[in-house]
Amino acid sequence: MRTVPNCYAANICITDIIFLIMASITDVAEYARGVSGMAKSVIPRSVSVYFHLVLTNATCAMLCALAFDRYLAIVHPFRFKRFRTVKFAFIVGVVAWFVSFAVCTPIYAGELAESIYEAFTFHDFVLAIIISCIFSYVLPLMVIACCYVTILCSLFSKASSLRGGSSSSSSSSNGLESRMLKRNLAVLKSILIIALVFALNYGVFYAVYLWLSLCAPQNFRKVFTASHVASLLECVGLCLNPIIYGLMQPNFRPYLKDIRDRIKERRGRCCQRGRAFKEVNSNAITMGTKETSLTESKKDHLETVSKIQ
């Protein structure tokens, strides 16, 4: 299971979990500020925006690295093999995190409004959103699209050559190539779905925030609804990434099946315990009623005997 795609996918999942935790903390703090009527938020807005952009950049970098790794594995499987190691994937993850923290440092150092609805009109915030949209969404999406188009062309050419089935090649080599092709297609399908979810959710997110930053709408209800819908779509996409990768990957299906079987087994044990408890209670009740009926019959018998005497 310690493969290069799994390392990148695990990094994406960790980033998603951290993002969801940070989003929940900042949202709760913002809602608590609105309910309690505090003048200042518990968490400064610069900290919230800083970590938001850091995690977004790290996710985009990992998706680009994952797409480029699939490109090297399928299009050039032997030429760049030294770059497709778990150690190199770990180094890429560390570098991506370091660059994300370094690039977003001006956002942390800059001054932002305490409320997110006041921050949209700030020059630093508008500039940060535009730069983040270009370098965290547009350019990574272009890299991912180029990688996947090249991969699909390579896979189609390999599939057509396998269908042709040259007479000189042996059946064992053809079978090995077909198995490798199926495995690459399965991995590619899962990563492609994750990339599409990323493109949709982050596209809506950046479109909404660019509209709020550049147009600066004055209607509070529109600002509130648009920002929360964008954040909700982003969180939904982050929650779906690990599930999609786990369900679409053949290597992960046995583990998911094992988890599902264990849950069913525990549920069955709980149901059996509940049934056993009910049966014990019902048996005790029936035994108690039988004993009371026996004692009453004995009392009646003794009363009749005493009357006769």
Q: Is residue 256 part of a domain?
A: no
Check if the beta carbon of residue 185 is closer than 8 Å to that of residue 93: no
Q: Is residue 206 part of a domain?
A: yes
> Residue 63 has what pLDDT?
82
What is the separation of C-alpha 93 from the centre of its chain, rounded to a whole number of angstroms? 17
> Residue 157 has what pLDDT?
76
Are residue 159 and residue 233 in the same domain, yes or no?
yes
Q: Which of 206, 228, 251 is the last residue of a domain?
A: 251
Q: Is residue 257 part of a domain?
A: no
For 217-238, the pLDDT digits (tens) are 667 677 777 777 777 777 777 7
Are residue 107 and residue 158 in the same domain, yes or no?
yes
Are residue 69 and residue 215 in the same domain, yes or no?
yes
CATH of the domain at 188: 1.20.1070.10
Q: Is residue 178 part of a domain?
A: yes
> Residue 102 has what pLDDT?
78
Interior CA angle at 98 toward 96 and 73, to 5°? 20
> Residue 305 has what pLDDT?
41
Check if the beta carbon of residue 202 is closer than 8 Å to that of residue 56: yes
Are residue 214 and residue 293 in the same domain, yes or no?
no
For 251-269, the pLDDT digits (tens) are 666 666 777 777 777 776 6
Q: Which of 226, 251, 276 is the last residue of a domain?
A: 251
Q: Is residue 99 part of a domain?
A: yes
- Pairwise CA distance, residues 213 & 207, whole Å: 10
Are residue 25 and residue 86 in the same domain, yes or no?
yes
Are residue 142 and residue 280 in the same domain, yes or no?
no
For the chain, list residues with pLDDT below 50: 117, 120, 167-169, 276-277, 280, 294, 302, 305, 307-309
Are residue 207 and residue 83 in the same domain, yes or no?
yes
Interior CA angle at 44 toward 110 and 94, to 5°? 70
Are residue 184 and residue 159 in the same domain, yes or no?
yes
Are residue 190 and residue 275 in the same domain, yes or no?
no
Are residue 207 and residue 175 in the same domain, yes or no?
yes
> Residue 149 has what pLDDT?
83
> Residue 156 has what pLDDT?
75
Counting every residue written for the chain, the total comes to 309
Domain span at 275: 264-309
Q: How many domains does the chain have?
A: 2
Q: Is residue 258 part of a domain?
A: no
* Other beta carbons within 10 Å of 201: 20
Q: Is residue 278 part of a domain?
A: yes
- Pairwise CA distance, residues 116 & 31, whole Å: 12
> Residue 167 has what pLDDT?
46
Are residue 153 and residue 207 in the same domain, yes or no?
yes
Are residue 245 and residue 268 in the same domain, yes or no?
no
Q: Is residue 259 part of a domain?
A: no
